[in-house]
Every structure is written in C-alpha cells, then in structure tokens.
Structure 1
Amino acid sequence: MTEKNVSTLKSHSVMLVSENEAIAQIVADVFPAAEDNKVTENASSFQALNGTALQLAFKHDLVIFEIDPDDAVEVDAIKDILAHRDDDTLFVALTQNDLTISKARELRKIGIDEVLPLSIDGEELKAAVSEKISARSVPQQAFQSAATVLGRVIPVAKSRGGVGASTVAVNLACSLVGGKGSLFRKSSKSRVALLDFDLQFGNTNVFLDLEDNGGFLQLIENAEKPDDRFLSSILQEHTLGVDVLCAPAPMVPLQSMRPDMIEGMLDLLQQRYDYIIIDLPCAVVEWVEPILKRAAQLALVTDTTVPCVRQARRLIDFYREANMTLPVEIVVSRERNSMIRPSHVREAEKVLETKLKHWLPDNPKVARNSVDLGRPIVDMKPQSDLGKALSKLATAVSVEVQPVAAKST
C-alpha cells in the first residue's frame, strides 16, 4: 500500500527500470514533480533497453530498478553498466524480500549502492535513499581538512559480558551530542560516532532501533583501509545525532579486523568527529592496540564482585601496556553509591588503585524498557536515577578528556 504522507526529496532526476505499478507510484510519491523532480519510467530490465541503458543511466541522479540475483544475464548487464561508472549516479536495487545476506553482498560487490526489498513502502524508500544521498554529498574535506584538534577516541570495555557496557556506550554517545532529550546541555552540538566493535555479540543497534545495513561486513570483505566516501556510506545517522557503525549481524571471526584497518578508520573519523565512542569486545585481540594508543580516555564497566574486580585489574594492566598514560574511568554498573563505603567496595578500590567515582544504579524497569523500545535511557527517561547517572558520566568525560593535537600534514 502506497504511503500517503511521504516526506519528499527535491530536485532529482530518477530513472525507474520496472513495470511494477505499485513501485512506480511509490517512487512518484517520494519524488513528486511538484518538488522539481523528474521520474523517467523505462523497460522492465536493462536487457530490454537494447544497448541504450549505459547512455540513459548516467543522465540521472538516481537509478531504481528491479533485479533477480539469479538472473545471470541481467546481473551481467548491470555489472557492465557499473564498470563504466564515472560519476555520482546512485544505483538502488529492489529484489525479493527473502534475499539472503550473501546474495545481497554479491550485488553490492558489483557496485550497487543499496539493495532493498520489493515490499518497501514510501517512507522506507525515502529514508534509504536520503541516507545514501547524504553520504554522497559529504565533501572529502570534511574528513581531510587540517583541523587543529582531532576527535577524542573513548573506548568502552567490560570486565564481563552482560555487565552493561553497551548501555554505557550508547547513552554516552547520545549524551555527548548534547541538545534536546539529554541532561547534557551544550551551546552547540558535538559530532559523535559510535562504533560497535564487539564483532560477535555486539548489539548497540538494538538500543537505537537500527538494523545492520551490512556495512561492517563490506568493510571486512574489502580487506583494505576504507576511504572517506566508503566510511561515510556505511555509517548510519540516528535521529539523536549519532552516526553509528553496527556490529555485523552474522557471526564473524574476531580476527576479521586488522590493526592497519583500524588505524585507517580512526585517521578519518578523528578529523570528522569530536568524539568516537567504541564498544570493545570482551576479548583480547591484536587490533585493539591502535584504539588504545589513540584513546583519550577509557571507560571500564564492571561490578564489585571479586571475579569482576580481578578481571578489571587484569584488563587495566593489559590496556596500559599499549598506552602507559591511558586514563581509565571505572564505571560501576547496577550498584548505587553510598556515603559509607562497604568493605567490598573499599577492597575493590584497593585492588583497582583508584577511587570509584561513577556509579549506575540498578533500575531494571528503565533498562528493560529502553531495550524493548530501542530508545537510549538519556532520551527516554532522562530524569530517572539511571538517566541522570549516565548523563553525569558524559559530563565528567567531556570535562576530563583533553583535546588532541592534530598530526602535521
């Protein structure tokens, strides 16, 4: 059913290769002629265009087409067109709803910018296309300009799985943006990126109601340092102002990433963002080292049980092998601070060699609702005890983290 209240996109030339009337109507609603758009409907396939497809395609800003990934002849026809690509024309494929991830990746490998289901509605198409157009419009100098200050890298680690590190990472990122919906107020908003590097068990996207767009898998499969345009295309912009790289939905080996790939990403991200929040895996892997070397501060989430405190101590020692001066902020999860320190807290402070300053009270109702609704606590319940504690943590981080001088070029 066609959406009736579709936010429109202005001033675009669209080539539609489809005989599906429902799709044609949706495209017409998203790109109405009244908004200075021009939609040209063509044959049902690129094969049917009899050699004119190449000439036609690159006369448009956007090409939307149906494709059966099992139709080798049609796939080859599109592949041939994309091989001659020399401009910013955007190619969006519509295909069966049950398309496997592997087949979707194969389509992206030949150069198709986005693969969407045929059941898509107007709002979904508009959102997907807007995201890709925005990524294409990011000027390269946004990444490459010789800024005087580099963005601050803040990894979030955990002493055990399930301790709440992803909750901290997501809410810290959203709070650091500033603006409405957060207790963390700023005169101007910060640019914040959230990277879920917990490759096998990452779920920050759940807290933000985002679906994996396959970007991380593309990054892994390319096996090369990403350039600015590619990196921009795989980051997803959340309504709260955070740009997110979701962990891959399929299980991938922890060694899928390499230190040089991480360094290449951070080179670009630190020039574009004020803060880069990284949710680390609960594992010791080689590619974490370049993150730690660039970290302005590390948040280590734990509880005060003996096993977790001991593991936190081991992690601190390991992290400081990569960065001897790394400031580590211990965040105690699911426990309220008290005026009189219990004996187990005093013992934990002795083992960790620091005073425990950051406490997140146990509020399972708010935490559960946040996950179920896909809304960060600082946005959904900013006045709750947990929301206030998370915002207070973000304030402390923003004050304590010092600017990093840019590298000379």
Structure 2
Amino acid sequence: MENSVSNLKSHSVMLVSESDAIARVVADVFPADEDNKVSAKATSFQALNGAAFQLASDHDVVIFEIDPVDADEVQAVEDVLSCCDDGTLFIALTQNDLSITKARELRRIGVDDVLPLSIDGEELKAALSEKINARKVAHPLALGGANALGKVIPIAKSRGGVGASTVAANLACALVGGRGSFFRKSAKSRVALLDFDLQFGNSNVFLDLEDNGGFLQLIESDEKPDDHFLSSILQQHTLGVDVLCAPAPMVPLQSMRPDLVEDILDLLQRRYDYIVVDLPCAILEWVEPIFKRATQLALVSDTTVPCVRQARRLIDIYREANMALPVEIVVNRERNKLIRPSHVREAEKVLETKLKHWLPDNPKVARNSVDLGRPVVEMKPQSDLGKALTKLAAAVTADVQPVAIKKT
C-alpha cells in the first residue's frame, strides 16, 4: 500500500545518531531544497544531558538511534518525552531483531514509531508520511465547531458471520466522503474505525492492514492512554480512515475494561467526526460506555426467524444503556422487494421498525474485496453492493446532530 510523501516538506528535523549512513538517509528523506532543515547530533540523548529537551522541542521530527537494552539511554529518552508536548514526532531506530517486548516498551514511554536501522530512504519516507498524516487529524473537530464531539456509531451483529465487519469497514471508508461521495462532496470527514471484536476481528483484512501490536499493548497496560500514544497505534488507510486493528493473538473478551473504553472514546471524540466501532457477538460490561455515547446503532442481520429474535433481544439490551438510541437494521445478503413477503412484514413487527437498509447478495464482489484487501466502496463503487453501502453511510449519518461538549 503506497503512502503519499508530499507532506515531507518544510520540516525541522533533529537526528541523534553517530552513523553517517543514517545521516545520509535522513538527509535524502528531508532534502534542503524542499525547505527542510536537518540538525545532526553525533551523540546520544544521555550525552546531551539538559540540552536534550530544548533541542527536541525546537524540532518537528526527532529521529534517534537507540539500544533498548541500555536502561540509562531509555530513561534519558523517557525524560525528554515526558516534557515535550504532542507536537514533536519521535522516531526510534534500533536493531533489526528487536523483540516485541522491547518495542512495546519504547512505544509505552511515548515513542511514535520504532523502525529498523537497516531501513532505506523509501521505507522511511512511507513510515514518516503515515505518522505525519495521522498527526494532521489531531486537532479540534471542524464539524459543529470547537465544541462538537464526534459521533460514535457501533456496528453490532445478530449472529456471527452475518457480515458486520464488511459493513463496518465499508461504512467507515464511505463516511470519509470527499470527491466521489454523492452525499459529501466538499470536504472529507475524519473517521476512525475501532475493531473491538477482540477474538475474531478481521476489519484489518478488508483494508489490507496488519496488527501492529498497539491494541494489545493498550489492553495490557494499567496506565491511562493519552492522545500521543493513541495516535501512534492508529494505522492510516489510504482512503483516510484511521484504524485500530483487533489484536492478532487471541485475547479474552473480558480483558477490555469499561474505563479503558471510556478513555479511548474521550480522546477520539475530540479528534474525529465519526468513530465506527465493530463489536463482538457477545454481551459484555465494557460495551455499555459505547452505547451510552452512540448516536446511531447499525445492527446487521438477516430475516431468518432466529436472527430476528436475537436482534430484538439485542436492541432491548442495548437500549438499557441508552433509551433514546436510534437503531438502524441492516439486512445483509438480501434484496429489498417491492412487495414485502410475509416473513419480512412479520420481522418488522417483531423489531418495531421498517427494514429500510438492504445489502444485496453479491458474492463475487464481496469475495474479491476480501481477497484483495480493498473495500467495496472503493473497488466497485458502482456495483449494486457498492451503491447500497454508500447509500447506507448517507442514511446512517443523516439527521444526526453533532454532540455538544458539556461545559463544567
């Protein structure tokens, strides 16, 4: 997947490394003729002593070589990170065979990314471009003004395998809008996709992304997450969606905590216009904060009797957390018919709502989308399934007002 590198201009860069080879790579990535300024320090953070903080604060990007086994050097970096604000990007370069544990430790203290010393110029450009793009969304929402909170849209399922992850990934991509979207042509929205289906989540597969270990680190940490760390573990898709991938290792569903969910949403609602949450097929204590904040719920189902009955039960449970929660039933792999069959009319009675959202069964397009890791709304937007998913995005967000931040 290619990243735009057009944003690597007009930056002030600090390099802390004794390697001439690394200095040449960084100089190539940030050429002086594109209004970049690179200051190289052939030393370490520990050797810089008290000057390290001021030097780092004076730059947009700090790239440094580090041996994670050197506890004193790690502490020196942590001391600088604890004082610097979130405006400076910190990139660590270390040995190629670095263990996951050591990499997580560097991420824990606030390092934005950990890259191998063998990285070449093009790879460094791509990694830096992704991080810089992610930082661009870390500002107050334009939607509804500075006092607006992003809309939380959970995606639930009446049974496993009903296609909720397909809906979540495509809905998130369609919500970005911009050129090519019939319901939002002028400006793109800031959208985050959270794959909270901890054990069977595969939203990343639909977007050709790999788990970077960040979510697992977030779950295992006892510390309250901050905006800096959350920004570092979100992965930006080329369509503009920032994704928190489900952990690759199998983790217990109860490993998530309500307070952690609250903390994540507190941070993201101030940065994004929409937060799409792919939920597990289970009733858990930690989903309650999601529904308390939700502005819409998309419940993916089919019209079989077991699924309709389960959908009814789920709606009742979810509304215990939010009585006024608007619920949109998404009927997947079925076409809407002009004359409603009796089982559809009966389903509408049970669910106490009209079934308005239908996603046609198009196995060829759906299969190609998964195999290629490209969402349907981007790969086949003019297909019947692509049009239905885009229409769903327009309908789900219509008539939903921004949520105001309460003044205390």
Give the TM-score range, shorter chain. Answer: 0.7 to 0.9
Instruction: State the distance in 2 between where 1:151 and 1:381 align.
Output: 28
In the superposition, relative to structure 1, how do residues 232 and 394 fare at CA in structure 2: closer, same or farther (>3 Å)?
A: same
Instruction: State the distance in 2 between where 1:31 and 1:300 align.
Output: 47
Q: Which amino acid aligns with 2:333?
A: R
1:101-140 equivalence runs, <5 A: 101-133=100-132
**Shift, 1:105, TM fit:** 0.8
Assess if the C-alpha contact under 8 Å between 1:16 and 1:24 holds in 2: no
Q: Which amino acid aligns with 1:87?
A: C
In the superposition, relative to structure 1, how do residues 317 and 81 fare at CA in structure 2: closer, same or farther (>3 Å)?
A: closer
Instruction: State the distance in 2 between where 1:112 and 1:227 align.
Output: 12
TM-score w.r.t. length of structure 1 = 0.85
Partner residue in 2 for 1:51: 47
**Shift, 1:41, TM fit:** 5.2
Partner residue in 1 for 2:76: 80
How big is each residue's C-alpha offset from its partner over 1:136-166, in whole Å with a ceiling of 9 and x where there is no partner?
67666569x9844432211100112221111
1:8-407 equivalence runs, <5 A: 8-19=8-19, 21=21, 23-39=22-38, 46=44, 51-52=47-48, 55=51, 59-60=55-56, 61=59, 62-69=61-68, 72=69, 74-85=70-81, 86-87=83-84, 90-133=89-132, 147-407=146-406
State the secondary structure of the residue aligned to 2:270: helix
In the superposition, relative to structure 1, how do residues 228 and 52 fare at CA in structure 2: closer, same or farther (>3 Å)?
A: closer
Q: Percent identity?
A: 73
State the secondary structure of the residue aligned to 2:47: coil
Instruction: State the distance in 1 between where 2:352 and 2:326 align.
Output: 12
State the secondary structure of the residue aligned to 1:272: coil
Assess if the C-alpha contact under 8 Å between 1:289 and 1:322 holds in 2: yes
TM-score w.r.t. length of structure 2 = 0.85
Instruction: State the distance in 2 between where 1:354 and 1:83 align.
Output: 56
Instruction: State the distance in 1 between where 2:20 and 2:126 align.
Output: 21
Q: Which amino acid aligns with 1:11?
A: H
Assess if the C-alpha contact under 8 Å between 1:158 and 1:302 holds in 2: yes
State the secondary structure of the residue aligned to 2:407: coil
State the secondary structure of the residue aligned to 1:252: coil
Assess if the C-alpha contact under 8 Å between 1:140 and 1:228 holds in 2: no
**Shift, 1:58, TM fit:** 5.2
Assess if the C-alpha contact under 8 Å between 2:149 and 2:270 holds in 1: yes
Q: How many matched pairs?
A: 397
Instruction: State the distance in 1 between where 2:231 and 2:153 align.
Output: 20
Instruction: State the distance in 1 between where 2:138 and 2:364 align.
Output: 43
Which one is further off, 162-171 or 204-213?
Answer: 204-213
Instruction: State the distance in 2 between where 1:389 and 1:181 align.
Output: 15
**Shift, 1:301, TM fit:** 0.4
Instruction: State the distance in 1 between where 2:330 and 2:10 align.
Output: 46
Q: Which amino acid aligns with 1:385?
A: D
**Shift, 1:285, TM fit:** 0.8
How big is each residue's C-alpha offset from its partner over 1:37-60, in whole Å with a ceiling of 9 and x where there is no partner?
3445555x74xx983466468525
In the superposition, relative to structure 1, how do residues 401 and 237 fare at CA in structure 2: closer, same or farther (>3 Å)?
A: same
Instruction: State the distance in 2 between where 1:101 and 1:161 align.
Output: 31
How big is each residue's C-alpha offset from its partner over 1:328-357, in whole Å with a ceiling of 9 and x where there is no partner?
111111111122323433333333232221
Instruction: State the distance in 2 between where 1:36 and 1:387 align.
Output: 42
Instruction: State the distance in 2 between where 1:203 and 1:408 align.
Output: 38
Structure 2 unaligned residues grouped into runs of 5+: none
Assess if the C-alpha contact under 8 Å between 2:13 and 2:36 holds in 1: yes
In the superposition, relative to structure 1, how do residues 117 and 372 fare at CA in structure 2: closer, same or farther (>3 Å)?
A: farther
Instruction: State the distance in 1 between where 2:253 and 2:382 align.
Output: 38
C-alpha RMSD over aligned residues: 3.0
Assess if the C-alpha contact under 8 Å between 2:196 and 2:277 holds in 1: yes
State the secondary structure of the residue aligned to 1:59: helix
How big is each residue's C-alpha offset from its partner over 1:147-201, in whole Å with a ceiling of 9 and x where there is no partner?
4443221110011222111111111122222122434433333232222111222
Instruction: State the distance in 1 between where 2:54 and 2:404 align.
Output: 43
**Shift, 1:75, TM fit:** 4.2
Instruction: State the distance in 2 between where 1:281 and 1:221 align.
Output: 19
Q: Which amino acid aligns with 1:204?
A: S
How big is each residue's C-alpha offset from its partner over 1:79-135, in whole Å with a ceiling of 9 and x where there is no partner?
234324433554322334454433321232344331123443333322322344455
Structure 1 unaligned residues grouped into runs of 5+: none
Instruction: State the distance in 2 between where 1:404 and 1:106 align.
Output: 36
How big is each residue's C-alpha offset from its partner over 1:264-311, in whole Å with a ceiling of 9 and x where there is no partner?
332333333322211111111111111111211110001222332222
Instruction: State the distance in 1 between where 2:292 and 2:74 align.
Output: 44
In the superposition, relative to structure 1, how do residues 56 and 294 fare at CA in structure 2: closer, same or farther (>3 Å)?
A: closer
Assess if the C-alpha contact under 8 Å between 1:9 and 1:126 holds in 2: no
How big is each residue's C-alpha offset from its partner over 1:202-241, in whole Å with a ceiling of 9 and x where there is no partner?
2222222223333323432333443333333333333322
How big is each residue's C-alpha offset from its partner over 1:23-49, in whole Å with a ceiling of 9 and x where there is no partner?
444322211222243445555x74xx9
In the superposition, relative to structure 1, how do residues 142 and 350 fare at CA in structure 2: closer, same or farther (>3 Å)?
A: closer
Instruction: State the distance in 1 between where 2:136 and 2:187 align.
Output: 23
Q: Which amino acid aligns with 2:75?
A: K
Instruction: State the distance in 1 between where 2:104 and 2:314 align.
Output: 36
